[in-house]
Structure 1
Amino acid sequence: MPTKIILVGPMGAGKTTIGRMLAQELGLPFKDVDHMVVEQAGADIPWIFDMEGELGFRKRETQSLLASIDGESAIIATGGGIVTQAENRKLLNLQSCVVYLATSVEQQYQRTLKDKNRPLLQQSDPRQVLEDLMAIRRPLYEEVADITIETDRNRPKAVVNQIISHWNKYA
């Protein structure tokens, strides 16, 4: 039986919100890979991108993913780009149930519009950036996912219930 539920999906899909709710519902610890990166670096994500570039951030992200999957059962929220690294895609499926929280580019855009903590979106046309990222990443999310849940029209509680229903199939 998988010992962890790992949430993947694009920025703005609700991974952190749903992850926290899911952890509370199941009585499991919650781990957020992006927060782990920030804590370990002692700096926010934009600073890491500025100083180390995306490659530096991705290395830190892999280290945090390794730390999050080591040990006890947990609910783990990942960053939107975690699937871009082949090593991470292999790690995601180790004793875990991977849930792809799918959302539309429009929903992502609405949810991230005012968030200055997303370095990839600090461009003149963030909607186009989201579309470009989705074209690259969607097949990777689908590759690692055990289950896909649409979040656009679902309240977080409904998504949590769907995940729990799937998780119970493993029990």
Structure 2
Amino acid sequence: MSIVSSEKNRCIVLVGMPGSGKTTVGRDLAKRLGLRFVDTDHEIEARTGVKIPIIFEIEGEDGFRKRETQTLDDLTRESNMVLATGGGAVIRPENRALLRERAVVVFLSVPPPILWERTRHDRSRPLLQVSDPRGRLEELLKVRGPYYREVAHIIVEGGRGTPHAMVKLIEKELQALCEH
């Protein structure tokens, strides 16, 4: 039975904090399952022709979030896809509803110290360009953590294993969902 065979669960969506591995794990998962991979941030950049930090600079976070909602709405209508969302996609209630209703949502839960290690040199993350990016990560996780858990059908504890190990865990959990 195909993991994405039911009408309700047409695509697999990865959510989690910046640095949780959504893009890396998503690409590997899509390849293993023979599905298309899409990263919403890359899709927004392709649609606008502008990098995310520039969108934040010109339109602010609210302008970016509106674009993100439209992109999520469009993409979650498609099938046979693994979709990696931006870390803040779960902030808006309408996004949480779209994700929960239209996809199998996998939350990649990674501890803050590991997130910090993975993101501390990355200048392409607008919300982490502050005087205390480590504190900002912890602050964002406090706000977003409950939302990730709210939308998740599957929660995978990450950060210690390889992306391949996380993919295998996700596959196992997806198979278990299909059997129920």
Aligned-partner Cα distance in 1 for 2:91–2:102: 20
Give the unaligned 5+ runs of structure 1.
none
Deviations 1:53-103 (A, max 9, x none): 000000010111112112222100000000000000000012311000001
In 2, the alpha carbon distance for the partners of 1:94 and 1:139 equals: 17
- Give the aligned partner of residue 16 of structure 1: 23
After superposition, the C-alpha distances for 1:126-158 in whole angstroms (9 at most, x for unaligned) are: 001001101100000000001111111121111
Of 38, 49, 53, which aligns to 1:42? 49
Q: Percent identity?
A: 46
Aligned to 2:127: 120
From 61, 83, 88, the counterpart of 1:54: 61
Structure 2 unaligned regions, length at least 5 = 1-5
Superposed CA RMSD in Å reads: 1.0
- Matched length: 171
1:65 to 2:68 alignment: no
Query: How far apart in 1 are the matches of 2:83 and 2:168?
Result: 17
Worse overlay, 105-114 or 63-72: 63-72
Q: Which amino acid aligns with 1:156?
A: P
TM-score (norm 2): 0.92
Higher mean Cα deviation, 63-72 or 21-30? 63-72
User: Is 1:139 matched up with 2:152?
Assistant: no
